[in-house]
Amino acid sequence: MIFPPNDLIGRLPALRNPPVNSDHAAFEPCNKFLDYLGNMWFNGPFKDMWCKWNVEEIRITKAAEAYHKKLRGMLSRRTNPPFDELLECLHALNTEALGKLLFLKNVNFSKPLRRRDRTRRQKKLSRRWQTSRLSMKEALKYQPKR
């Protein structure tokens, strides 16, 4: 369920009164639900927990969901992949994250690498990482030159 910002909740008629006539069978259950919603989530103990409207900080849940979605996509949506395949995917994601961190560290770089050079470096870095012959110190050598 997607909620509007706190200041708009009072303006939505469907959140104040059931959207059916009072003689309809669903009126009473809807009214009870709206009372519960108002007492627990809009004005009650959880009123500051659910609304994330205009939240600027990074939310861990979204990052974890994005990581999980990417991992599942790499594993072709299988729930129980072979362990060696899972490790390969984790290595690849880790290598990609390392490359992104190195790029962020070097934001003042004036000329980006050509696609083929970037791909070549990523493949070389990935091969060395998968064979466990790459330390963090060596990985920093792959940082683009200024």
Q: What is the pLDDT along the chain (146 residues), one digit of tens a residue?
A: 456 677 777 788 888 888 889 999 999 999 999 999 889 888 888 877 777 777 777 777 778 888 889 888 888 888 888 888 899 999 999 999 888 888 888 776 667 778 898 888 888 877 877 777 666 677 666 665 54
**Whole-angstrom distance, CA of residue 115 vs CA of residue 31:** 59
Contacts (Cβ under 8 Å, ≥6 apart) of 22 = none
Q: Buried (b) or exposed (e) across 127-144, using 16+ Cβ within 10 A?
A: ebbeeeebeeeebeeeee
The pTM assigned to this predicted structure is: 0.39
Radius of gyration of the chain from Cα atoms? 25
